[in-house]
Amino acid sequence: MTHVFHRQPGATYPVAVAGDGPWLIDGDGRRYLDACGGAAVSCLGHSDAAVRAAVLSQVDTLAYAHTGFFTTEAAEDLAAHLIAQANAVIPGNRLDKVYFVSGGSEAAEAALKLARQYFLEIGQPDRHRVIARRQSYHGNTLGALSVGGNQWRRQPFEPMLMPATHIAPCYAYREQAEGESPEAYGRRAADQLEAAIQTLGPETVAAFIAEPVVGATAGAVPAVPGYFRRIREICDRYGVLLILDEVMCGMGRTGHMFACAEDGIGPDILIAAKGLGAGYQPIGAMLCSAVLFDAVVAGSGFFQHGHTYMGHVTACAGALAVQRRLRDDNLLDNVRRQGAALRRDLEETLGQHPHVGDIRGRGLLLGLELVTDRETKAPFDPAVKLHARVKRAAMARGLMVYPMGGTIDGRHGDHVLLAPPFIIEDAHRHEIVDRLGEALAEALDTPARAPAS
Ligand code: PMP
């Protein structure tokens, strides 16, 4: 009997009682290997001593101070750390200021509002439109949901959503034409942004928002090389702000502190969450350029936004400890090494699986797309709820993976997202691949391993 209103009301969930590195343990003592970090959150696993000590020490001295009255050392230090990282890795970095909130959706809301307010401050009040991509997720609050392109999440709330324009995603597996080079495809996909800006009227467009590696809606889909460089050029040409959503793919998940650095560009606004606090505290951040910040300072002097828990000192202290762990222990080296090895292992064991259409991703953010037929790439019937079957079969084997349904318009199939902690070792990786193979076999009713050819 429970009074908690769960995600799936009425369902029975195991009771999580403890964490041990990459493992979660339930009330019956069962251990679950966390191969998805919940939803790409727990990048340090579940019992990091340094983060625990930092959180406890912060609560001991000061647990909360409202940002309408005070700043704090933890918030200042964390902001300085993030900007130093951005300066170090993002080519031509524009990010210079950080606004802390409690999660990804809140960061998306702040980004959308700052983009709008910036244009008011500089005397371009007609710029209010936002362009986004069909295959995207930016959060479940109404503003973030409005720009998100996940039809299943949007549909019930459609009449309540603000208008937004959606262009095609960059999704080579399904949309790159036969014989088309990745570069040509990337240009074709990015040029949809220019066409949309021209249709709407450049003087009305405030921002374009996109995930460098699409996470929950598509299962770790990076853009092809050159796509984001072209996007950056188009935004600059029309004075449109580029908002990159690195809530899932940022903070080291791809093996780089900021995923966009690998695409060779930086945004005007970047949002982060998940791996920022690694789940030890709820925290998100909006990083923005000094140009936007200065416009607010010179204009109204007040960013017309805010939440009670923004800049929460305990959350900032926890996140700072997380980020220092990543830096001081070179954990991104392990992300790159284990990420490459996990991808190779998945390709070896599941690459020829009759229902695994694509294996993709970057670093320790990997996805498998499931199809009825590898030739036609036809998705499974959504009524089969394949993703739910995979999750159930994996949990029964003590493995947490993050499967999601395909798009309801049939544009892509069910997928399984893997986002294990940055601390995994070879043995964990082997367990992930073995247990996932068995779970897929049960869910799809196929042999656990493809026969050797
Ligand atoms: N953006 C992206 C890319 C995400 O993956 C998510 C969460 N899955 C969000 C935004 C929303 O973050 P939150 O759930 O913390 O509000």
Last residue of a domain, one of 264, 297, 328: 328
Rounded to the nearest whole angstrom, what is the distance from the C-alpha of residue 248 to the centroid of ligand 1? 7
In a domain, 453, yes or no: no
The pLDDT of residue 448: 60
Domains: count for the chain: 2
Residue 3 counted as domain residue: no
Residues 354 and 322 in one domain: no
Q: Tell me how far apart the alpha carbons of residues 32 and 264 are, in angstroms, rounded to a whole number.
A: 37
| Residue 6 included in any domain | no
Residues 6+ away with beta carbon under 8 Å from 227? 170, 186, 187, 189, 190, 263
> Average pLDDT, stretch 209-219?
94
223: tokens are 């853009």
312 in contact with ligand 1, CB cutoff 6 A: no
Q: Is 247 in the pocket of ligand 1 (CB under 6 A)?
A: yes
d(CA 389, CA 395): 10
- Judge if 198 and 312 occupy the same domain: yes
pLDDT per position as a tens digit, 116-136: 999 999 999 999 999 999 999
Model pTM?
0.97
CATH number for the domain that contains residue 93: 3.40.640.10
Point out the domain boundary residue: 273, 299, 328: 328
Average pLDDT score over residue span 219-246 = 98
Number of C-beta neighbours around residue 449 at 10 A: 16
193 Cβ neighbours under 8 A, 6+ residues apart: 131, 167, 208, 231, 234, 235
Q: Is residue 7 domain-resident?
A: no
CA of 393 to the centre of ligand 1 (A): 25
Domain that holds residue 95: 55-328
Ligand 1 centroid – CA 28 distance (Å): 31
Average pLDDT rounded to a whole number, residues 320-346: 98
What DSSP element (H or E) covers 409? Answer: none
Angle between helix 331-350 and 313-328 (nearest 10): 80
The answer on pLDDT for 450 being more than 50 is no
Same domain, 232 and 119: yes
Return the amino acid letter for 386.
L
Phi-psi sector, 26: left (phi>0), alpha (psi -120 to 50), beta:
beta
Ligand 1 pocket residue status of 137, Cβ below 6 Å = yes
**pLDDT(341) > 80:** yes
Q: Is 264 in the same domain as 130?
A: yes
In 102-235, the DSSP E strands lie at: 129-133, 165-167, 205-210, 213-214, 221-222
Query: Both 302 and 388 in a single domain?
Result: no
Look at residue 59 in the predicted model and tell me its pLDDT: 98
Question: Domain check: are 97 and 32 in the same one?
Answer: no
Distance CA 372, CA 354 (A): 8
Give the containing element (helix H, strand E) for 31. strand 31-34
Q: Which of 272, 303, 328 is the last residue of a domain?
A: 328
- Is the domain of 233 the same as that of 295? yes
Q: Do 180 and 109 have their domain in common?
A: yes
- Ligand 1 atom with the smallest distance to the CA of 246 is 3
- The CA 437 to ligand 1 mean position distance, Å, reads 27
Res. 412 pLDDT band, cuts 50 70 90: confident
- What is the chain's mean pLDDT, rounded? 96
**pLDDT for position 380:** 93
Report pLDDT for 17: 98
| CATH code, domain carrying 367 | 3.90.1150.10
pLDDT class of 2 with cuts at 50, 70, 90 = confident
Regarding whether 83 and 185 lie in a shared domain, the answer is yes
Per-residue pLDDT reduced to its tens digit, 179-201? 999 999 999 999 999 999 999 99
pLDDT tens digits for range 351-407: 999 999 999 999 999 999 999 999 999 999 988 999 999 999 999 999 999 999 887
Give the integer Cα–Cα distance in Å for 322 and 241.
30
Is the ipTM here above 0.85? yes
Of the listed ranges 208-217, 335-344, 401-410, the least confidently predicted one is: 401-410
**Given this model, what pLDDT does residue 422 score?**
98
User: Ligand 1 pocket, 130 CB below 6 A?
Assistant: no
259/318 same-domain check: yes
Indicate if 344 and 321 belong to the same structural domain: no
319 and 334 fall within a common domain = no
